[in-house]
Amino acid sequence: MFRQGYHGAGVRDVVAEAGVAQGSFTNHFRSKEDFAAEVLNLYFASIQERISQSLLDAGLAPRERLLRYLDIISDRLAADGYVRGCLIGDFSLEVVQESEPLRQHLITIYREWLRPFSECIAEAQAAGEIDSTFTPGDLAEFLLASWEGAILRMKVERSDEPLRRFKDIASATVFGPQRRNLPI
């Protein structure tokens, strides 16, 4: 599913890749949607591991934890030659129009994904490391959506340029220190 997408990978492809009989698939999963939800869960577990290595690392300042997360993901994307992006983002583009259960599952994943970002941003704002103009939740939503967009562009361009641009701009603006509201 990562290589071919949800629609490109049929049940026959999945069982052939796994080296099991098709009956084994139907014994474990009621549908391709159920299987896809489990694939998303496993993928998100790997994201949560990266969150633990960065956003939850109390040994780093909050702003540094946010930047560390982006670096960890950037390194993984580089290792894949900038051709594979984020499975959660890919599924968000591919299946939400046709599958309400998967759309709801993706909503749940995004909410869970945003929580550590919001908490880290709140800590950074309290420490004066990040501007407090926007709520931690709004900034988390903005950052994750923008980062996913940069990953999408990275796949198109097969280059780290969109990721680098995102990190440079986010570092100078969103991750910048508190700013006074000055009259224009």
Domain boundaries, the chain: 31-172
Q: Comparing 19 with 40, which gets the higher pLDDT?
A: 40
**In this prediction, what percent of the chain has a pLDDT beyond 90?**
69
- Give the pLDDT confidence score for residue 180 in this predicted structure: 44
Distance CA(48)–CA(112), nearest Å, equals: 9
C-beta atoms surrounding 88 within 10 Å? 18
pLDDT digit string, tens, across residues 77-106: 999 999 999 999 999 999 988 999 999 999
pLDDT digit string, tens, across residues 127-184: 999 989 999 999 999 999 999 999 999 999 999 999 999 999 998 888 875 544 444 4
Task: Provide the pLDDT confidence category of residue 28 given band limits of 50, 70 and 90.
Answer: confident
CA 100 to chain centroid, in Å, comes to 20
Mean pLDDT of the chain: 88
Instruction: Inform me whether the pLDDT recorded for 76 exceeds 90.
Output: yes
CATH assignment of 31-172, among 1.10.150.120, 3.40.50.720, 3.90.660.10, 1.10.357.10: 1.10.357.10
The residue assigned the tokens 């049929």 is 10
Collapsing DSSP states into helix, strand and coil, what is residue 127?
Answer: coil
Instruction: Inform me whether the pLDDT recorded for 10 exceeds 80.
Output: no
Instruction: Inform me whether the pLDDT recorded for 22 exceeds 70.
Output: no
Instruction: Inform me whether the pLDDT recorded for 41 exceeds 70.
Output: yes
- Give the pLDDT confidence score for residue 131 in this predicted structure: 87
Cα dihedral 148→151→157→163 (10° resolution): 110
Instruction: Inform me whether the pLDDT recorded for 74 exceeds 90.
Output: yes
Task: Provide the whole-model pTM.
Answer: 0.84
Distance CA(78)–CA(10), nearest Å, equals: 28
